Amino acid sequence: MRASRLSPAGNAQYTLPLVNWTFPNESMVLGENGVAFATDAQQVILFNVADGTVNWMWQPASGQARLGVSLEANRLMVRVVDYVQQSEDIVSIDNAGLATLTSLSGQSLQLAPGDVAYSLGSTSQKKAPAVRWGESTWPEASGGQIRAAENFITVRVYSISEAHVDPVFVRSRVNEAIFYWLLMARIHLKWDQVIQPEPRCQNLPGRPCNVNSKEDLFNINLDGVPELVRRFLKPTGIDIVFTEAITGIFVGPIHINARAATVPGKNLIAIGEQAEEDVLTHEFGHVLGLPHVPNYLPPTFPDSDDYYNLMCGSVGALDVIVLCSSPPGPNLNESQIRDARRGARRLL
Ligand SMILES: [Zn+2]
């Protein structure tokens, strides 16, 4: 089968050892670092998209192969459908072309980005252990759409030295937030694990910083926002400043609960060392453009995504009675996921 690659560097044409695209939607998936997977239902290949060089070929013992999703490190999930045996299996193939049968099997298997899911008939669904997605996963492998690989949003972390915030605490909070948004919304955030120390006060030419002034970032309230913005705001990515405490009431669309604050409309978060688990994850939601949702604790419908919602909080200036779970709940609804993904593009 002939393939053409059109790119800014020019066009390339080569022949792949495949017969045809038997199932167009499940025949080609991008991998990482310039490779792609392809199948004609009989053979699965990994090839270099620049010149068509085939790295490996794999063939199921019986049945037809249909490509599912590529995972990090160029692993591939393949559906193997055997009409004779009336079976469907999911096979995982590693970077070297070594295939492993997964424990997922049954009829009407479906692969869902974010998690690997399968259904038995059409009524029940079960999730396999969550998958950590790679740097250039194909967002909708079987959705009939071709999209580019997704870029990372860079996260930068600072810690006000005088506050002596435990670096173990900082790492666990930041990593839990990054992992949450990856799993829930497939938003790829990258942090190099560096915690940049920063002084509480920074002297400016002709203006020495005084402790307990509005330029002091040890204990931040509304007055400290301009200095926070001046020192840390960047055009892209997300910046997080850990310090002793966030206090006072911020007005307007700002979020504050004496634990953390997101500067409204900005990709900048300040967080105190007393912040509970998931508070930073909630603040990421604001940076991604999500407002609060009114959401109450009693689990009348405990499976609903609107209970224990991550973005629970006061809505409107007069809505002071909000019964949110503490720490924030784990749920997001579909429109929140869509909005957050849209918001994420602004941070690239
Ligand atoms: Zn909030």
Closest CA to 26 of 82, 68, 57: 68
Distance set, CA 307 to CA 267, 296, 328, 329 (Å): 27, 6, 10, 8
Task: Specify the higher pLDDT residue, 116 or 93.
Answer: 93
- 181: tokens are 């948004």
Enter the DSSP assignment of 248: S
Report the pLDDT value the prediction gives residue 23, as an integer from 0 to 100: 73
| Residue whose C-alpha is closest to residue 67's, from 5, 152, 137, 122 | 137
Lowest-pLDDT range of 77-86, 192-201, 278-287: 77-86
Q: Report the pLDDT averaged over residues 107-133.
A: 44
Backbone dihedral region for residue 257 (phi beyond 0: left; psi -120 to 50: alpha; all else: beta) = alpha
On whether both 116 and 161 belong to a single domain, the answer is no
C-alpha 192 to ligand 1 mean position (Å): 26
Centroid of ligand 1 to alpha carbon of 335 (angstroms): 17
In tens, the pLDDT along 21-58 reads: 777 767 888 887 778 999 998 999 999 888 889 999 99
DSSP strand pairing (2-7 vs 238-243) = unpaired
CA–centroid distance, 313 to ligand 1, in Å, is 6
Q: Answer with the residue of higher pLDDT: 97 or 108.
A: 97
Dist. CA 172 → ligand 1 center (Å)? 20
255 Cα–ligand 1 center, Å: 4
Which pLDDT belongs to residue 252? 37
- In this structure, the answer to whether residues 175 and 90 fall within a common structural domain is no
Number of neighbours of residue 264 by Cβ within 10 angstroms:
14
Give distance in angstroms: CA of 159 to centre of ligand 1. 21
178 and 74 share one domain:
no
User: What is the pLDDT at residue 20?
Assistant: 79
Claim to verify: residue 305 and residue 251 sit in the same structural domain: yes
pLDDT in tens, 179-228: 899 888 878 899 999 999 999 999 888 888 888 888 999 988 878 889 99
Separation of 318 CA from ligand 1 center, angstroms? 15
Sign of the torsion formed by the C-alpha atoms of 183, 185, 188 and 194: negative
CA of 168 to the centre of ligand 1 (A): 24
115 and 212 within one domain: no
Cβ density class 134-153: b for 16+ within 10 Å, e for less: bebbbbebbeeeeeeebeeb
97 shares its domain with 179: no
pLDDT higher than 70, residue 325: no
In a domain, 148, yes or no: no
Judgement on whether residues 119 and 159 belong to the same structural domain of the protein: no
Q: Which of 110, 127, 144 is the last residue before a domain boundary?
A: 127
Ligand 1 centroid, distance to 267 Cα (angstroms): 14
Q: In the predicted model, what is the mean pLDDT of residues 299-311?
A: 63
> In what side-by-side order are the strands of the sheet with 44-48?
28-30, 35-39, 44-48, 54-58
Ligand 1 center–CA 202 separation, angstroms: 29
pLDDT at 21: 76
* Higher per-residue pLDDT: 9 or 129: 9
Q: To the nearest whole percent, how much of the chain has pLDDT over 70? A: 73
What is the whole-number distance in angstroms between the Cα of residue 311 and the centre of ligand 1?
Answer: 6
Beta bridge partners of 91: 78, 101
Q: Are residues 19 and 111 in the same domain?
A: yes
Give the CATH number, domain containing residue 31.
2.40.128
Confidence (pTM)? 0.58
What is the span of the domain harbouring residue 304? 153-345
154: CA distance to ligand 1 center in Å?
21
Q: CA-to-CA distance for 345 and 188, rounded, in angstroms? A: 11
- Give every CB contact of residue 85 below 8 A, 6+ residues apart in sequence: 62, 63
Instruction: Tell how far the Cα of 17 is from the centroid of ligand 1, in angstroms.
Output: 54
**How far apart (Å, rounded) are the C-alpha atoms in residues 154 and 192?**
9
The rounded distance, in Å, linking the Cα atoms of 76 and 112 is: 13
For residue 194, how far is its CA from the centre of ligand 1 (angstroms)? Answer: 26
State the distance from the centre of ligand 1 to the C-alpha of 319, rounded, in angstroms: 13
Q: Identity (one letter) of the amino acid at 306?
A: D
Across 64-82, average pLDDT: 81
> What mean pLDDT is reported for the chain?
77
270 C-alpha to ligand 1 centroid (Å): 12
What spacing in Å lies between the alpha carbon of 287 and ligand 1's midpoint? Answer: 10
247 Cα–ligand 1 center, Å: 15
Based on the domain organization, do 335 and 203 belong to the same domain? yes
Q: Looking at per-residue confidence, does 217 or 147 come out higher?
A: 217
How far, in Å, is the centroid of ligand 1 from the Cα of 237?
Answer: 19
Tell me what pLDDT residue 276 has. Answer: 80
